[in-house]
A = this chain, B = another copy of it.
């Protein structure tokens, strides 16, 4: 994999798609989202349920229902989305898996890797879901894969 899991890639794409629909006042079903972001329907369903449970997305059942995002949630950072799906492993631990590695006794990758980590963190924390959608709208392919 790349830096994110497949779940996380789908999750990020889905969140921005839902955000876009919500901006138009539309709720969207899993099937529609899956088609638009090119992901397996049922697998995505789990991801969206998880994101709902964690308060990042919202959902309503029944006719006219579907997934949507609250205005306030647009201010959540991408880091929140990533953490909700992949957990904190991307943000923690020694690159080589050395348990004794620490700032005081750093392994040879520790400092460089720490910098990289903080840049990843910054990248994900400095962009909100709302920003992300606005920025992605600017490219003419949006979410086509």
Contact = CB atoms under 8 A, between A and B. Distances in A.
Interface residues of A, number: 44
A interface: dominant SS: loop
B131 A12 contact: no
B6 A3 contact: no
Interface string A8-49: 011011000000000000000000000000000000000000
B107 A139 contact: yes
Nearest to A133: B108
Given A97-B145, A105-B139, 5 more contacts: A2-B89, A6-B97, A108-B127, A109-B123, A115-B119
Nearest to A115: B119
B13 A90 contact: no
Top-10 shortest CB links A-B: A108-B135, A9-B97, A112-B123, A100-B141, A105-B139, A99-B145, A12-B96, A116-B119, A2-B93, A108-B132
